[in-house]
């Protein structure tokens, strides 16, 4: 990868920039970023990471071999149409847009492009993303190697079929937010039972890290591990009983289904919008 251009400067773009630089995948001077109109945000990224930004497309795309699409999915059609005159069939297009298919991107661009569609999460900023990756038939072996290095540099990368990406979006793409939500609840409860907030936060984080390592390294299932620490008549059993009474497990299942469905709806909406644009032109 010689030069990386990122279209969009939100939290996902920043997470990828942070992870890429932390793992020294590409020099900071070869990372360029742009957005719609928020110059203050670009200035913040320049100052924090030492990267480049510009609103001049010739400057952005000159010598670029990898383009990351990281704008909001609802802005994808407008953004891709805006840059399409600067895209070439030799550029690797990496999309982290939830719900936007590779076929939709190619149709908007009006070019047969090598496209990677990926669903990382914001844990990429600390090199711990769980990223699912799908590719189209135009991605070369060298571009596939670049893709693997890119997402390995920010965590774990797994190759999947594109139709699985909506489910990945609902599970691991949005997953960090579910964990943060759980941490919020644990922090509130810790204060209520008399613990200092700072100490409680440390205990909660270490508890989550330890549990994750146990699941990762043990041959036992999460269900088995849970049962082993749930002694009859003990404190854990009392807590689990409340979770079951409130249907927490069912709520989490419904949560992931809803996020998956939303990813599908977003993709369908963009496709419908594209068809409308085509018919009116």
State whether 48 and 27 are in the same domain: yes
State whether 100 and 197 are in the same domain: no
Q: Which residues contact 174 (CB under 8 A, 6 or more apart)?
A: 121, 256, 259
State whether 138 and 78 are in the same domain: yes
In a domain, 277, yes or no: no
Q: To which residue do tokens 């957005």 refer?
A: 35
In a domain, 56, yes or no: yes
Classify residue 160 as exposed, middle or buried by CB count within 10 Å of its CB (0-12, 13-18, 19+).
Answer: middle
CA dist 31 and 58 (Å) reads: 15
CA dist 108 and 262 (Å) reads: 22
State whether 15 and 129 are in the same domain: yes
State whether 95 and 196 are in the same domain: no
For the ranges 63-67, 133-137, 165-169, the lowest mean pLDDT is seen at 165-169
State whether 199 and 178 are in the same domain: yes
pLDDT-based confidence at 275, cuts 50/70/90?
A: low
In a domain, 69, yes or no: yes
In a domain, 62, yes or no: yes
pLDDT at 273 over 80: no
In a domain, 72, yes or no: yes
Residue 202 confidence (pLDDT) = 95
Predicted TM-score (pTM) of the model is: 0.83
CATH number at residue 235: 1.10.3730.10
- Residue where a domain stops, chosen among 105, 127, 161: 161
State whether 205 and 121 are in the same domain: no
The more confident residue out of 60 and 281 is 60
CATH number at residue 14: 3.40.50.720
CA dist 91 and 40 (Å) reads: 28
In residues, how long is the chain? 281
State whether 125 and 246 are in the same domain: no
SS (H, E, C) 56-101: CHHHHHCCCCEEEECCCHHHHHHHHHHHHHHCCCCCEEEECCCCCC
- Give 162-179 pLDDT, tens digit per residue: 999 989 989 988 999 999
229 in the Ramachandran plot: left (φ > 0), alpha (ψ -120 to 50) or beta? alpha
pLDDT-based confidence at 216, cuts 50/70/90?
A: very high
State whether 191 and 78 are in the same domain: no
pLDDT at 270 over 90: no
Q: To which residue do tokens 């990496």 refer?
A: 94
- Number of folded domains in the chain? 2
Which domain covers residue 129, as residue numbers? 4-161
State whether 135 and 221 are in the same domain: no
**Mean pLDDT of all residues in 202-218:** 95
State whether 249 and 181 are in the same domain: yes
State whether 108 and 22 are in the same domain: yes
In a domain, 109, yes or no: yes
Q: To which residue do tokens 């990406």 refer?
A: 165
In a domain, 268, yes or no: no
């Amino acid at each position: 990868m010689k030069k990386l251009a990122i279209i969009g400067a939100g939290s996902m773009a920043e997470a990828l920039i942070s992870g890429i630089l932390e793992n020294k995948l590409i020099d900071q001077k070869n990372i360029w970023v742009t957005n719609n109109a928020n110059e203050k945000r670009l200035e913040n990224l320049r100052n924090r990471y030492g990267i480049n930004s510009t609103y001049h497309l010739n400057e952005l795309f000159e010598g670029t071999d990898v383009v990351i699409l990281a704008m909001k999915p609802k802005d994808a059609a407008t953004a891709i149409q805006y840059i399409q005159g600067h895209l070439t069939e030799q550029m690797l297009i990496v999309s982290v847009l939830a719900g936007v298919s590779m076929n939709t991107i190619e149709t908007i661009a009006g070019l047969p492009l090598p496209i990677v569609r990926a669903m990382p999460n914001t844990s990429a900023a600390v090199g711990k993303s769980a990223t699912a990756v799908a590719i189209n038939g135009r991605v070369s072996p060298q571009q596939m190697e670049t893709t693997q290095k890119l997402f390995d540099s920010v965590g774990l990368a797994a190759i999947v079929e594109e139709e699985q990406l909506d489910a990945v979006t609902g599970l691991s793409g949005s997953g960090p937010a579910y964990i943060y939500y759980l941490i919020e609840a644990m922090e509130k409860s810790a204060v209520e039972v008399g613990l200092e907030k700072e100490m409680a936060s440390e205990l909660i984080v270490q508890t989550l890290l330890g549990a994750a390592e146990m699941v990762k390294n043990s041959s036992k299932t999460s269900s088995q591990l849970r049962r082993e620490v749930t002694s009859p008549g003990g404190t854990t059993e009392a807590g689990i009983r409340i979770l079951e009474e409130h249907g927490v497990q069912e709520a989490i299942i419904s949560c992931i289904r809803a996020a998956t469905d939303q990813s599908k709806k977003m993709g369908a909406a963009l496709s419908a919008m594209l068809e409308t644009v085509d018919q009116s032109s």
